[in-house]
Structure 1
């Protein structure tokens, strides 16, 4: 019987570009635009500059987004993924543990630019990468891979070769061996996401993608891997997953899972989106009276409550933006005071803001059985604000704006993109990028799009 990776390769190879449904092509463009915006938005950060400086040259086939230098395909996958991850504003997929398939987009873009791929081929690559990454998430056992100490970024090791195979022109057998090599060398630990987070968290996904691109190139040049790397005695199943539902990974594609991705409206971890949405909805009732708050009760699904109950000290007094971004109580307090939650809410001055600390100290988190019934398909939250006067205000959000059950419109996604891209490339060029992505299926070569992603003056109105 063929191995798991051999059967997966057959599924990936069985979707020609011309058979990709129009709605999937359109959604691939939306995912692409959101990813580019997040890359540009993160491109000036210190950890991202470190990645650009480590790999950037004046030559190379792939553009470093927001920088202008170039690099090898594998190195561009690393550096641009670091830029995409930095703000933690990227999309994801609802499920039992973090899944951010957009972090394969930098690898796909670098491959497409280097091989002069067209827009429809790029859309197919993105759709297939999302398909495999999400299947890897949904097929994971209970307890899932994160309970075994692994990061969800591990799944990119399987998703990236699946995405770039068509662009690289890999044969079916070459794809099998690319998957085999990447599966062995791709698993990465979840340690970076615990406690006060280190700056290197931003490059976790990029390093997996870099290795996966290298695996695909090795396979194309004749390197062979262990084709039973998934189910073998010392393979992914036993060493990483523990248990895995092969039917989820290997079933026919009857619904492209890219259509189930969510978009972040707020610059915060997934389980904070609903909480922030609720406190923003309540803000008009409490505006100007935050010093009168006696207690904020935040109710979450049990799994999210347990997650936010770990590393309590770090979550209540985060020392850097990554830690704050993953703290629902911090995000809640910052959004309560400012009325929104974007990158500026995570600067050093805000992390030390006594008003935010005061609200955090008055916030308690509790599990809610009714909210738990929606998990893992949703990350609902209920926020109750009690004033010392006795007045109480409550708001519950089940499907946050941007969730596949409550999607944001193209215009809203484009506005998010412009807010991130304009300071880097300027308003005029940001608009041109939007137009190019709208016409993605018509692009005969994506190099022109990549040429727009270097810094501009950023001064246009």
Structure 2
């Protein structure tokens, strides 16, 4: 019996076989919802400082190139994927999936958009490339944990993005396999980017890995070869005892893209539930905030490790604040909302927020651990000086795959992010374009609509 092909080749053959014709309607609908949500997250970050810094150093386009969202600047597919990826990531408002590891599979959408645009592709091709990226990354997340090895989950970009690019460009499975390992061997990213005091590096983890991975796909398309057993090496050298190459499912029986969760608030996903609970307490605390004696935030233990370490009690920048359990709860209790505008204004540094932040006691809830070990629940208890106790619990936040946003709620989220940048008319036309994406002969109208009107651009 001949040995099985390398896992890189099997993953590439899986991607090559993805087509719109074999996708159920609900899967196509899920893909379009995620594309719309991702475009909203990108447009909402239009003026993010890290993005503008990235765009300032872009190379000139090698025709036909691809465009940056918001500014419409044309550059290479690599450059556009990097800038647009940073836009998507900056607000921390994009999707999330977790199992053995965690990931934000929508970070593949900027790469898909840039590569399909470069190739002059259509809406159908974009859907196929997006589904390919989601399916491979999610299945890798199910099989292997980068974070358990001390790496960040954005390490997956090196393996996944060349498959996205190859799908967009119509590469053979053989070429895509080499692209995947050429990218994968390069991008084991240190987990430090999401621990302690965070930095602008958070915004570029996946985008920069993905941009270079597009170049790996180009090399593979030109005949450049890579170590085809890179997946096996990764599992063999770094995986835990129950992680092995055979656990990477490459079936067509169930499309994992349908199990992705969305966010209602622009913060780390583990904070969605406690923030929702805090917002529900806001009306009862109106005019009584000076009476607050203590605040108890009940969450799962892994949330404490990520979002309640010492640096999170004194956030000085947006990157740390949107990963801070105490700061986000304080803002939600005070304002009855948590939006990107509060972060943009530095609300987390205001004296009233800092006072409440210092009163937050994060604890691991044994009942949550017992009943909801795989969820992201949260509860907030507020004790007033007169002994009165107020409490709100959110076991499943809105947007979770088990409690999904309906289409109207998703459109409202998109409009809130997009309209201040491109206007109500363009936002409505983007929604209509994406909802009919499989019929669109070109992506040019979408890129036009996602460009800020000329009169609203800076000098």
Distance 1:260 1:186, change over 3 A: same
Alpha-carbon spacing, 1:411–1:69, altered in 2? closer, same or farther (3 Å)? same
> Do residues 14 (structure 1) and 13 (structure 2) align?
no
Q: Counterpart in 1 of 2:245? A: 246
Query: What aligned pairs does 1:22-421 form with structure 2 within 5 A after superposition?
Result: 22-55=25-58, 57=60, 60=63, 61-140=65-144, 144-231=145-232, 235-238=233-236, 240-242=238-240, 244-310=243-309, 312=310, 314-347=311-344, 349-373=346-370, 377-421=374-418
Counterpart Cα distance in 1 of 2:449 and 2:412: 18
Post-superposition shift, 1:375? 5.3
Alpha-carbon distance, 1:149 to partner:
2.1
What is the root-mean-square deviation in Å for CA atoms of aligned residues? 1.8
Distance of 1:274 and 1:296 partners within structure 2: 15
Q: How does 1:439-458 map to 2 (within 5 A)?
A: 439-456=436-453
8 Å CA contact 1:379, 1:399 repeated in 2: yes
Give the gaps of 5 or more residues in structure 1.
Answer: none
Query: Contact 1:177–1:226 (CA<8 Å) still a contact in 2?
Result: yes
Q: State the alpha-carbon separation in 2 of the partners of residues 58 and 3 from structure 1.
A: 35
3-state DSSP of counterpart to 2:204: helix
Q: How many residues align?
A: 451
1:316 and 1:360 in contact (8 A); partners too: yes
Report the Cα distance in structure 1 between the residues aligned to 2:70 and 2:373, rounded to whole angstroms: 35
CA distance in 2, matches of 1:458, 1:152: 40
1:401 CA displacement = 0.4
Question: CA separation in 2, counterparts of 1:427 and 1:373?
Answer: 46
Structure 1 position 16, deviation (Å)? 2.3
Query: Alpha-carbon deviation of 1:114?
Result: 1.1
Aligned equivalents of 1:376, 1:126: Cα separation in 2:
30
3-state SS of paired residue (1:389)? coil
SS at match of 1:341: coil
Residues 46/107 of structure 1: CA separation in 2 closer, same or farther (3 Å cut): same
Conserved? CA contact 1:90–1:263, under 8 Å: yes
CA contact (8 A) 1:424 1:458 kept: no
Pair 375,359 (structure 1): closer, same or farther in 2 beyond 3 Å: same
**Distance in structure 2 (CA, Å) of the matches to 1:438 and 1:69:** 25
Query: How far off is 1:97 after superposition?
Result: 4.2
Q: Please report how far the alpha carbon of residue 193 of structure 1 lies from its aligned counterpart in structure 2 after TM superposition.
A: 1.4
Partners of 2:81 and 2:207 within 8 A in 1: yes
- SS state at 2:108 partner: helix
Q: Distance in 2 between matches of 1:366 and 1:117?
A: 50
Structure 1 residues 179 and 58, CA, compared in 2 at 3 Å: closer, same or farther? closer
Shift in Å, 1:282: 1.8
Contact 1:186 1:211 in 2 (8 A): no
Residues in 2 aligned to 1:348 and 1:241: alpha-carbon distance in whole angstroms:
43
CA shift in 2, pair 1:108/1:7, >3 Å:
same
Deviation at 1:241, TM superposition (A): 4.2
- 1:124-164 deviation per Cα after TM superposition (whole angstroms, max 9, x unaligned): 21112111111111212xxx321322111111222222223
Change (3 A) 1:151 1:349: closer
Change (3 A) 1:173 1:96: closer
CA drift of 1:45 comes to: 1.3
Aligned pair in 2 of structure 1 residues 457, 418: CA closer, same or farther (>3 Å)?
A: farther
**Deviation digits for residues 237-267 of structure 1, max 9, x if unmatched?**
2555455343442341321111111111001
SS at match of 1:185: coil
Distance of 1:322 and 1:43 partners within structure 2 = 16
